[in-house]
Structure 1
Amino acid sequence: MTAVKSIFMFILDIFGSHRLIYELAKKDVKSKYLGSYLGVLWAFVQPTVMILIFWVVFQLGFRSMPVDNFPFILWLLCGMIPWFFFNDSVISAANSIIENSYLVKKVVFRVSVLPLIKIVSSLFIHAFFIVILFLIFFVYGYMPSIYNIQVVYYLIATIFLVLGISWITSSLVVFLKDIGQIIAMVLQFGFWLTPIIWAFNIVPAKYQIYFKLNPVFYIVQGYREAFIYHTWFWKHTFLSVYFWTFTFVCLMIGILLFKKLRPHFADVL
């Protein structure tokens, strides 16, 4: 109970700085593309181009058929969009402390919000693509459904998962710079091991459990069930319990590690 209370108070304390986080997240989005001609538009152009590439390669090149009677592009978008958010959040949050070393050295600044600022920064872009996803479904003739509200649940689940991971990685990157390269490599493997551009039913039944151990599977599949399969998240009791257990462990480890290493950040930076 002590560990649970510690985590709860730590998170509650951080979310108490929501205005600061929001303002710094907006500033972060603008600063990323400062000086470029397209500015913030680059944040939307890059993922859009990647989606178009995969769509051209798999649907036009390999002649991919509709998946479960749904147009391939819709099925693909439901997997790519949550992955972009997860991938961008993890990478940017991992480097959040190093990039803001000048803030770390200020005694009064709450350093623990830095990873969350990066996550919220990525969330702005993700929210735009969720709107686009609704529009594309509408263009294809699929009306909004009550099941779509589950996107909020899976979005919250993603944020808590990334937050736990980011407190671990951002703490370690300060002392071990190679962690950043390892994270990028793990994410590359994770993309291909998660059923984002390939259908999960091609995996033999006896091996499916191993793919489900990947927490991002829960999120990607959840987006598709919210938009395509129309299944409520509580129907997957085992997966839900496993995901939140994994997320809670990440949060607990991340908070304890962050608290332990925080006093040494300024010395190393």
Structure 2
Amino acid sequence: MRQDFWLTWELTKREVAQRYRGTLLGVLWPVLYAVLFLAIFSFVFTIVLRVRWGQEGAGVATSSVMIFCGMVPYLFIAEIMGRSPATILGAANLVKRVRFPVHLLPVVTVNAGLLIAAINLVLLLAFAFVAGEANAGALVFMPLILIPLYVFALGVGWLFSAVAVFFRDLGQIAPVLVQMMMFLAPVFYPSTIIPQDFLPIFDLNPLTYFVEALRDALVGRFDALLWLRMIATYGIFAGLGWFVFHRLRSAFGDLL
């Protein structure tokens, strides 16, 4: 167990270093990407489409903070769903080693994505405090939302990476699925404008909980019971992902 922990740590560091090796900005690229993404969507949804936040409508700063709350979990999930199908396919040399713990490869992908999500969360908190949209409780509650988000991502990582070995079209389907999840969750608009008849569809989207929970945590609201329920639910999902990965593991070497 301890050996797996240190191996995961070293592989995660190598994964992050390799992603940005040779670039001018290095790990600042994810920060720049998040800022540009926020600026574009804030302009489109707040200025052009004039999406209203609150009964009387909110200013650009408030709307940007709300959109940023949606972006943090979305960018993380999009990262994991986009990269997971290639995790095993791109590591044939490691998979074919008899004693290598292949189940750690999806964990490394998730850990690298979590690092970027943590950076984005720090940016969100800083922006929210400067804009006067956060209170002290956000410093405690918002990082807690990353726990069920991480557990959900582990399930996606194990499931997608294993299934993609047998069904390689998953690498093409995953980006489409991510886009569907983005628009069928209140990432760039408030949940109050969703028609009542369609709310059950949005509630089935895992992204919806994380977006709404971050917005609530921003102002000090935290539903501990729902949070524990989400950890249990996504814990079961992660267990399912692990089970599928374990059952398919023996065939990886023959198909790569």
Alignment of 1:30-45 (within 5 A): 30-45=17-32
- The structure 2 residue matched to 1:232, chosen from 222, 228, 232, is 222
Which position in structure 2 is the counterpart of 1:19?
6
CA distance in 1, matches of 2:202, 2:238: 22
Residue deviations 1:155-191 (CA, integer Å, cap 9, x gap): 0101111111221110011121101111111111110
* Amino acid corresponding to residue 235 of structure 2 in structure 1: F
CA distance in 1, matches of 2:233, 2:173: 20
Aligned identity (percent) is 28
Task: Give 1:54 deviation, angstroms.
Answer: 0.4
Does 2:106 correspond to 1:119?
no
- The structure 2 residue matched to 1:176, chosen from 142, 156, 167, is 167
1:147–1:232 CA contact under 8 A, matched in 2: no
CA distance in 2, matches of 1:136, 1:147: 12
CA distance in 1, matches of 2:246, 2:192: 42
1:96–1:115 CA contact under 8 A, matched in 2: yes
Residue deviations 1:112-167 (CA, integer Å, cap 9, x gap): 01111011111111111111112112211345422542223210101111111221
Give the helix-richer structure, 1 or 2: 1
- The structure 1 residue matched to 2:90, chosen from 92, 99, 105, is 99
CA distance in 2, matches of 1:214, 1:63: 25
CA distance in 2, matches of 1:144, 1:20: 38
* Amino acid corresponding to residue 78 of structure 2 in structure 1: N
Alignment of 1:10-159 (within 5 A): 13=1, 17-67=4-54, 71-142=62-133, 144-159=135-150
Which position in structure 2 is the counterpart of 1:217?
208
- SS of 2:75 mapped into structure 1: helix
Runs of 4+ in 1 over 6 A off after TM superposition: none
- The structure 2 residue matched to 1:259, chosen from 246, 250, 253, is 246
CA distance in 1, matches of 2:46, 2:224: 33
TM-score (norm 2): 0.89
CA distance in 2, matches of 1:66, 1:202: 9
* Amino acid corresponding to residue 233 of structure 1 in structure 2: D
* Amino acid corresponding to residue 36 of structure 1 in structure 2: T
* Amino acid corresponding to residue 163 of structure 1 in structure 2: L
**Structure 1 residue runs without a partner (length 5+):** 1-12
2:137–2:218 CA contact under 8 A, matched in 1: no
2:147–2:231 CA contact under 8 A, matched in 1: no
Task: Give 1:264 deviation, angstroms.
Answer: 1.2
* Amino acid corresponding to residue 18 of structure 1 in structure 2: F
Which position in structure 1 is the counterpart of 2:192?
201
- SS of 2:132 mapped into structure 1: coil
2:34–2:120 CA contact under 8 A, matched in 1: no
- SS of 2:103 mapped into structure 1: helix
How many matched pairs?
252
Q: CA RMSD in A?
A: 2.2
